[in-house]
Amino acid sequence: AQKITQTQPGMFVQEKEAVTLDCTYDTSDPSYGLFWYKQPSSGEMIFLIYQGSYDQQNATEGRYSLNFQKARKSANLVISASQLGDSAMYFCAMREDSEAGSYQLTFGKGTKLSVIP
Amino acid sequence: DTGVSQDPRHKITKRGQNVTFRCDPISEHNRLYWYRQTLGQGPEFLTYFQNEAQLEKSRLLSDRFSAERPKGSFSTLEIQRTEQGDSAMYLCASSFSTTGASAEAFFGQGTRLTVV
């Protein structure tokens, strides 16, 4: 089974509007972290936001917020007031913390966001 | 520039040749990761170093691949006898943690390998 599922291959949003990018995850570990990264065409993965599994409140970072619904195993990214520079690939990733190990990230396949002027 | 640096940014090589990539992590970061990203996919974990010790390797890392991190600073990823299936973006990431899991990993801009 896929550990991270992003069901939207592509999304369009009008400039200045809000957009939600979906992410569901699958883990049996009680301790884990969820991440969103942005990848512009240049290739660099840019960290956006992090949510720990024990965090009581949804994470927010400027225009980014994470809608964390633990029971549904969903961690959707909300981008408010979209800008043209937000056009990029967006990846949801999970780190499972319970095993002693590398704390590697497992990524979804990504969503390509296009912001329309 | 205090970010993660990768060199080269692009590499075109003929099938069968050896290639080596370099990653310079953020200086105080003790953890270093290599990922591979093929077209239309998210990055996939290859290997992990804590300081100079290589502690984990993915099944994706065939015996043609070798990674080192001498002195716990920069890291190199070598691919021997390259195959067309090795064509991908190779991403390096680093993070800092003293115990347990840290927060975010910072990524470099990647090395795009094309095997012809």
- End-to-end alpha-carbon separation of chain A, Å? 38
- Contact flag B89-A43 (C-beta cutoff 8 Å): yes
Q: Is A50 left (phi over 0), alpha (psi -120 to 50) or beta?
A: beta
pLDDT confidence of residue B91: 97
Percent of chain A with pLDDT over 70: 95
Q: Which residue among B44, B95, B107 sits closest to A44, beta carbon to beta carbon?
A: B107
- The residues, any chain, with a CB within 8 Å of residue A95's CB and separated by 6 or more, are A32, A33, A34, A35, A103, A104, A105, A106, B101
- The predicted-structure confidence for B59-95, as pLDDT tens digits, reads as follows 888 899 999 999 889 999 999 999 999 999 999 999 8
Return left, alpha or beta for B100; rule: phi > 0 is left, psi -120 to 50 is alpha, else beta: left
Question: By the 8 A CB rule, do B26 and B2 touch?
Answer: yes
pLDDT interval class at B1 (50, 70, 90): low
> C-alpha distances in angstroms, A99 versus A36, B41, B73?
22, 25, 25
Per-residue pLDDT tens over the stretch B16-41: 999 999 999 999 898 999 999 999 89
Residues A17-56 have pLDDT tens digits of: 999 999 999 998 888 999 999 999 988 899 999 999 999 8
Residues 59-78 (B) with a CB less than 8 A from some CB of A: none
Structure confidence at residue A29 (pLDDT): 87
Testing the interface with B: which of A44, A94, A98 to mutate, by most B Cβ within 10 A?
A44
- A104 closest CB neighbour out of B45, B108, B110: B45
Spatial distance between the Cα atoms of A51 and A73, rounded to a whole number of angstroms: 12
Q: Does B34 touch chain A (CB under 8 A)?
A: no
Cβ–Cβ under 8 Å, residues A46 and A5: no
